Chains A and B, each alone.
Chain A
Amino acid sequence: MKRLSKFVAAAALGASVALSVASGAALAQTPPNVLVVGQIAEPKSLDPQTVTALNDSRILMNIYDGLVRYKDGTLQPVPALAKSWTISDDGLVYTFKLRDGVKFHDGSPFNAEAVKFTFDRMLDEKHPYHNTGPFPLSFYFSAVDKVVAKDDLTVEFTLKEPYAPFMSNLAQPTGLIVSPEAVKQYGKDFGRHPSGTGAFKFAEWESNAKVVAVRNDDYWGGAPKLEAVVFRPITDANTRVAEMLSGGIDMMVEVPPDNVATFASDAGYKVQEQAGPHVWFLILNAKEGPMADKRVRQAVNYAIDKKALVSNVLQGTAEVAAGPTPPAFSWAYNDSLQPYPYDPEKAKMLIKEAGQDGADLTFYVTEGGSGMLDPIPMGAAIQADLAKVGLNVKIETYEWNTFLGKVNPGLEGKADMAEMAWMTTDPDTLPYLALRSAAWPGKGGFNSGYYSNPKVDELLEKARSSTDQKERARLYKEMQEIVRDDAPWAFIANWKQNAVTSARVGGFSLQPSFFLILQDVTKS
């Protein structure tokens, strides 16, 4: 009996300690006026020129500014650090007038020299700070011949050839302006000590725990309302959802399709969705095998039940794609284009006509990867749809890096079709890199299915050298019609990015660029 009472006393003590420890956490509420964002991964670096991941840009866009930025809710470049600009008639010289009186977070002045430094560091292999790279996306600016600081507030870019996507590339993370003084001070460690001109100033980066950015009271665009933003890397999607539900974070991005409904039905949360410039498609091998016949490629487009795919597999987190250009590029998107309807009978007929009934096909599927949504179930659904029209599809599954290593050098001799997805910010990027004859593998492009149509080549070349947006739009729309008919790809889905915030968060909206812009966000 005595021992029992001792045991009870010990248990009670243990429980009270545990409770006192736990009670503090019962208030797992985030602090007022500080926004805690659940990110999908630890950032690689906060040096805008060295990163490629969307995850990192979500932070960068709040610490740095570019010469231009995308207008709220669009992909239209508007002034940011540049007040205005002129483009020479031949489309080769861009002259920017810079905003006056702007300072970097480290106190050094923003001027034309800083712009020149930013681009020279990335593009000139002989630049003293080029070794602070590598700069994997420097090819965004490979058209730039030289950057000249005309005076303190005027900077001039000379291009080697006319290149219309130049302005939208300037709005990309790769085009954000860094503080030369900070780069000189920290060298290779600049990515851990970022300094820009953005609405939030970098404060702290604790590995795998958080990146903290605090309000920039001197921001030229007006100080943000939030005191600070904390970006927390939470790689596991289940844990991210659990943190959102338990009140550990105020906002999360890339909510798994399964959980969107949970949040949507709860008044404590706000769910946002926004169709982005994303397209999920199948590359079809137009060079050899059954897919070399246009009728078979069209048949594949008819045979796949895309509506079922986006509503069942993706649970409504994507829309059916009509062609190679996502509707998010509103000005360049051909809205008269209709998706291939689900028509297995027509598909069977086309396959029979082409004499490919019962053909064996190899299909590359990836386990996961940037923008790939749910690639394995999607691949399986596609395989089943194609079986119904008499195409015998064998799936080969690879991990993302391996997958890219197999697909990017071209499908010839290996596969008839492969999954792929792209997120881009200019209507030029994807077709120029993946649909031109000159972009076949081995020539430096991503046309892994060897599609070739001289008319498409011509339209794309013309569109990128034209500085008139109306003219560009006309050219892109014509291109989309031809490509839809030629069917070098099976056009499947355009992803709707999503985010969940707690109901306390206001003034937030997703951007078609996929960036998180937090300048006007509030938290009650």
Chain B
Amino acid sequence: MSTYILKRLLFAVPVLLGLSVIVFLIMAMIPGDPATAILGSYATPENVARVNKQLGLDKSLVEQYFIWLGNMLHGDFGRSYSLNRPVIDEVLERFGATLILAGTSLLLCSIFGLLAGVFSAVRQFGWGDRIITFLVLIGISLPSFWLGLLLILGFAVQWKLLPASGMFAIYGGGDLPDLLRHLLLPSVTLAVVATGVVARLTRAAMLEVLRQDYIRTARAKGLSERRVIYRHAFKAALVNVIPVIGIQAGFVLGGAVYIETVFQWPGIGRMLVQAIATRDLLLVQGGVLVVAASYVLFNLLADVVQHKLDPRLKS
């Protein structure tokens, strides 16, 4: 098992390196440059050249890449010129906030997705199943930024029950209830689509499992229906659902970009949007690498859990 994990982690290194090259190239290809972003209307070719020189962007792209790579191997991710502070400080600070948001959403979508899926499968074609299937369809089809605005309109503007944006109250606050208040709307918004996906897959996996011979055997043995469903069928279905939840983790991280913008959550998604707009290459690189690395980790984690659950995969 540990060699498997080690191998997977080592494999992540070339993936991340390749990714860094791609991001570097994309940022170089998209029009507009940092100096223009900094200077705005004042961007004459001379001013642009002057600022580029001050930023060290007059060197060739290859040179810039290797300077960055070399620095990074020494633990220096460079300095964001749009925020004027070390990239690593900014990225880690923001990533923490994103993890809280994405983690909560993942938890919500796992709990509700699994519950809804099992419920649906057990009552296949019943009214409960139909209602859930319908809700799931709506959930999957809703654009989450729109849903977010709608929730803000209802809960913050109309009823003034929950704050519209931010992560903590501006004054006072800062404790757990304060965080939860701010977390509720964005995490629910972010979880809706993923819940739909998990519910659908759980339902399918459960239906598949419920048709298996060993379930019939279990029932024939006279086990209670609850025991059959939760001990036997659910556990077996979970093996197929876990990797999907791993992938959802990635989607939730990606979806966080919109949600963080709508709810002004101080996370890495919003940081990336801003960094791209200001052509802050080093900040984009740092942010994308951290997100990618966590994506790799989440999938690894899902695989490990799957290994643990599924005796057939144990070598």
Contact = CB atoms under 8 A, between A and B. Distances in A.
B263 interface: yes
A401 B42 contact: no
Given A47-B84, A192-B85, A26 B42 contact: no
A30 B170 contact: yes
B80 to A, nearest CB: 9
Contacts of B271: 208
A24 B163 CA distance: 10
Nearest to B39: A136
Nearest to B270: A208
A236 B262 contact: yes
A519 interface: no
A401 B31 contact: yes
Contacts of B266: 206-209
Interface in B37-93: 37-47, 50-51, 54-55, 79, 81-85, 90, 93
Interface in B137-159: 149, 152-153, 156-157
Closest 9 CB pairs of A and B: A401-B32, A134-B54, A208-B266, A402-B31, A45-B84, A246-B156, A31-B171, A191-B84, A22-B161
Contacts of B40: 52-53, 369-370, 404
A44 B163 CA distance: 26
B303 interface: no
Given A188-B79, A209-B167, A399 B31 contact: yes
Contacts of B84: 44-45, 47, 50, 188-189, 191-192
A21 B54 contact: no
Contacts of B126: none
A446 B44 CA distance: 7
Contacts, number: 176
A42 interface: yes
A405 interface: yes
Nearest to B82: A44
A50 B171 CA distance: 29
B184 interface: yes
Nearest to B161: A22
A75 B20 CA distance: 48
23 contacts: A21-B184, A26-B161, A28-B160, A44-B82, A45-B84, A134-B38, A135-B54, A136-B42, A136-B47, A208-B264, A209-B166, A232-B166, A232-B170, A235-B261, A239-B152, A239-B164, A239-B262, A239-B264, A248-B156, A401-B32, A402-B32, A404-B32, A409-B45
Nearest to B279: A401
Given A22-B184, A30-B171, A369-B40, 18 more contacts: A25-B162, A53-B40, A133-B54, A135-B54, A136-B35, A139-B47, A191-B84, A207-B266, A208-B94, A209-B266, A236-B261, A239-B164, A239-B262, A242-B157, A242-B164, A246-B157, A398-B31, A399-B32
Given A31-B172, A405-B36, A370 B41 contact: yes
A230 B149 CA distance: 24
Contacts of B46: 444
Interface residues of A, number: 69
B177 interface: yes
Interface string A8-32: 0000000000101110111010110
A41 B165 CA distance: 14
* Highest count of chain B CB atoms <10 Å: which of A41, A242, A371, A420: A242
A238 B149 contact: yes
Give the size category of B's interface with A. Answer: 35 or more
Contacts of A235: 261, 264, 270, 274
B152 A242 contact: yes
A446 B41 CA distance: 9
Contacts of A133: 54
Interface in B241-290: 261-264, 266, 270-271, 274, 278-279
A234 B264 contact: yes
B43 A404 contact: yes
A137 interface: yes
B165 A248 contact: yes
B157 A245 contact: yes
Given A45-B84, A239-B152, A404-B43, A230 B170 contact: yes
Which residue, B39, B261, B271, B278, has most C-beta atoms of chain A within 10 A? B39
B37 A25 contact: no
A243 interface: yes
A129 interface: no
Interface in A364-379: 369-371
B279 A207 contact: no
Given A242-B153, A246-B156, A446-B44, A405 B170 contact: no
B295 interface: no
Q: Is the interface of B mostly helix, strand, loop or mixed?
A: helix
A175 to B, nearest CB: 16
Interface in A401-443: 401-402, 404-405, 408-409, 420-422, 441-442
A422 B41 contact: yes
B235 interface: no
Contacts of A135: 54
B168 interface: yes
Given A134-B55, A243-B164, A52 B171 contact: no
B180 interface: yes
Contact of B33 (A50, A189, A401): A401
A445 interface: yes
Nearest to B173: A24
B27 to A, nearest CB: 12
A209 B32 CA distance: 28
Contact of A247 (B37, B51, B160): B160
A134 B83 contact: no
A145 to B, nearest CB: 19
B161 to A, nearest CB: 4
A246 B154 CA distance: 10
A410 B172 CA distance: 53
A233 B32 contact: no
A242 B181 CA distance: 16
**Of A22, A230, A421, A445, which is in contact with the most chain B CB atoms at under 10 Å from its CB?**
A22
B161 A25 contact: yes
Contacts of B166: 209, 232, 248
Nearest to A423: B41
B286 to A, nearest CB: 14
Interface string A201-238: 00000111110000000000000000000101111101
A266 B122 CA distance: 53
Interface in A130-152: 133-137, 139
A36 interface: yes
Contact of B42 (A25, A41, A52, A371): A52
B208 interface: no
Contacts of A34: 171
B163 A28 contact: yes
A45 to B, nearest CB: 4
Nearest to B179: A21
A301 to B, nearest CB: 22
